[in-house]
């Protein structure tokens, strides 16, 4: 597929995978009723007509559904990957057949990754959709000349929102961005249930380990860490949490986990997973004290949570023992198995979050893009939350689609909540 007037060419692994992609995209669609509803409305109202959108997302079957919604709304799109290893090649082939320009290949090098990112920006976008803020970051650096076209951006993930807030704090943000991650219908579900389940899915597909009876160390007790800890516990693991935030550490203790510093956890864990969004969480000093045969993985956005450079330095030998399992042998013969090259294990070794939760995350993305197009004139160069009415509406549609009914406030309850006079005396 060649994008409209600009002659931007797709770059995917094998267009012959499109039929497989079509079946899997349709399967995901069955769990995405909120997106379906938005797609139907977008098809009628065409709120994105004439809008050029660069998207840098994990190219999965769920993302393919989102791209179809944006296309139905009238947007011209170039999609690239937000991680070199997370692309599902059949989903990208399918999208190309659907008339969307896609530049994403699973296993692409860093150079190709950067080239694909820049092809997306060659579209001269009006809006960006990021997962990790790579498009916005390029637009504030090498591609600053394109900022004049921009109405705004939408950001999917915690790490991306952190990057944007730092730009905003330095008063260097050049256009408004909506932090989709912070919507309740996003992070309470995608980060918690999505990361929780898909991280374990990735670890098990890569290793086929038994969870029951293992000592499972979760580094970071944000929404992702909580989701992961509770699923690991549910499968019979002894869960240890490491934290730097006293409040979160306290919550982890009261949720029933053992909390200790990473240096102590390193000596006793069988499986380690980082989900902090920070860099250098498991370091050389930790690797040096780990037991023989441990499994170490990351499910945070960037591959910076494990000090892979440090591990490479202390290892005498490295070999791939299974797909996406690299065994590092230390000088004394102990072996450390790192999954997915320290990149997001849930998207590299498994399929990412299930469609059921991505439905809400991506509904926030689609409606945030529509909001930016309609309201950009009123917005400043700031990081905005998803408007509360959009967030609530997504929850309402989702519940409705699940066949769950809830109560309404009675007139008396409404009055009670809005008055200070009504007490107990
Ligand atoms: N991030 C985590 N899981 C994902 C998925 N299934 N699709 C797109 N982005 C994701």
Question: Are 217 and 144 within one domain?
Answer: no
Angle ∠(98,359,402) on CA atoms, nearest 5: 125
Q: How many domains does the chain have?
A: 2
Residue 290: pLDDT over 80: yes
Question: Are 337 and 369 within one domain?
Answer: no
Domain range for 202 = 193-348
Decide if 420 is inside a domain: no
What is the pLDDT confidence band of residue 4, given thresholds at 50, 70 and 90? Answer: low
How confident is the model at residue 320, as a pLDDT? 98
Residue 62 CA to ligand 1 centre (angstroms): 7
Asked if residue 25 has its Cβ within 6 Å of ligand 1, the reply is no
Residue 85 CA to ligand 1 centre (angstroms): 12
CA gap 139, 414 in Å, rounded: 47
Contact 150, 165 (CB under 8 A): no
What is the pLDDT confidence band of residue 421, given thresholds at 50, 70 and 90? Answer: confident
How confident is the model at residue 420, as a pLDDT? 81
Q: In the numeric block, which tokens belong to residue 420?
A: 């200070």
Give Cα 389 distance to the centre of its chain: 23
Torsion 258-259-265-270 (CA) sign: positive
DSSP assigned state of 173: -
Mean of pLDDT values over 289-301: 97
Question: Are 41 and 103 within one domain?
Answer: yes
Residue 70 CA to ligand 1 centre (angstroms): 17
Question: Are 181 and 215 within one domain?
Answer: no
Question: Are 32 and 162 within one domain?
Answer: yes
Residue 347 CA to ligand 1 centre (angstroms): 7
How confident is the model at residue 96, as a pLDDT? 98
Question: Are 217 and 136 within one domain?
Answer: no
Mean of per-residue pLDDT scores for the chain:
96
Contact 161, 186 (CB under 8 A): no
pLDDT tens digits for 107-145?
A: 999 999 999 999 999 999 999 999 999 999 999 999 999
Question: Are 386 and 327 within one domain?
Answer: no
What is the pLDDT confidence band of residue 355, given thresholds at 50, 70 and 90? Answer: very high
CATH of the domain at 199: 3.40.50.720
Question: Are 204 and 319 within one domain?
Answer: yes
Decide if 7 is inside a domain: no
Residue 300: pLDDT over 80: yes
Asked if residue 159 has its Cβ within 6 Å of ligand 1, the reply is no
How confident is the model at residue 270, as a pLDDT? 98
* Whether pTM exceeds 0.85: yes
The b/e string for 346-366 (b: 16+ C-beta within 10 A; e otherwise) is bbbbbbbbbbbbbbbbbbbbb
For a pocket test of ligand 1, which of 92, 199, 302, 361 has the largest count of ligand atoms closer than 8 A to its C-beta?
A: 361
For a pocket test of ligand 1, which of 57, 60, 66, 87 has the largest count of ligand atoms closer than 8 A to its C-beta?
A: 60
What is the pLDDT confidence band of residue 5, given thresholds at 50, 70 and 90? Answer: low
What is the pLDDT confidence band of residue 317, given thresholds at 50, 70 and 90? Answer: very high
């Amino acid at each position: 597929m060649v994008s409209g007037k600009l002659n931007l060419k797709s770059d995917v692994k094998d267009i012959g995978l499109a039929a497989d992609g079509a079946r899997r995209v349709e399967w995901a669609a069955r769990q995405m009723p909120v997106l379906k509803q938005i797609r139907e409305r977008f098809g009628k109202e065409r709120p994105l007509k004439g809008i050029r959108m660069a998207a840098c997302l994990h190219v999965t079957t769920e993302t393919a559904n989102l791209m179809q919604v944006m296309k139905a709304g009238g947007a011209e799109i170039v999609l690239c990957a937000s991680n070199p290893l997370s692309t599902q090649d059949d989903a990208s082939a399918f999208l190309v057949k659907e008339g969307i320009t896609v530049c994403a290949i699973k296993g692409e090098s860093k150079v190709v990754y950067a080239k694909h990112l820049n092809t997306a920006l060659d579209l001269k976008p009006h809006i960006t959709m990021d997962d990790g803020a790579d498009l916005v970051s390029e637009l504030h650096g090498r591609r600053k000349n394109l900022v004049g076209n921009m109405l705004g951006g939408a950001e999917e993930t915690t790490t991306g929102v952190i990057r944007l807030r730092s730009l905003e704090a330095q008063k260097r943000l050049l256009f408004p961005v909506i932090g989709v991650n912070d919507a309740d219908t996003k992070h309470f579900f995608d980060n918690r249930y999505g990361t929780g389940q898909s991280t374990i899915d990735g670890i098990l597909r890569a290793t086929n380990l038994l969870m029951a009876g293992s000592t499972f160390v979760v580094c970071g007790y944000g929404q992702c860490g909580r989701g992961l800890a509770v699923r690991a516990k549910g499968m019979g693991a002894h869960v240890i949490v490491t934290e730097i935030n006293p409040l979160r550490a306290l919550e982890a203790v009261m949720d029933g986990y053992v909390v200790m510093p990473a240096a102590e956890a390193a000596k006793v864990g069988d499986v380690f997973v980082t989900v902090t969004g920070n860099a250098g969480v498991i370091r050389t000093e930790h690797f040096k004290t780990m037991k023989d045969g441990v499994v170490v993985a990351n499910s945070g956005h960037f591959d910076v949570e494990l000090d892979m450079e440090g591990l490479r330095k202390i290892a005498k030998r490295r070999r791939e023992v299974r797909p996406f399992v690299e065994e590092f042998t230390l000088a004394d013969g102990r072996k450390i198995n790192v999954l997915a090259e320290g990149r997001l294990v849930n998207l590299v070794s498994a399929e990412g979050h299930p469609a059921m939760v991505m439905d809400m995350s991506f509904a926030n993305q689609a409606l945030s893009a529509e909001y930016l197009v309609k309201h950009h004139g009123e917005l400043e160069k700031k990081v905005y939350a998803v408007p509360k009415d959009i967030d609530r509406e997504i929850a309402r549609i989702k519940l409705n689609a699940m066949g769950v009914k809830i109560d309404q406030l009675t007139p008396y309850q409404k009055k009670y909540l809005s008055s200070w006079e009504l007490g107990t005396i």
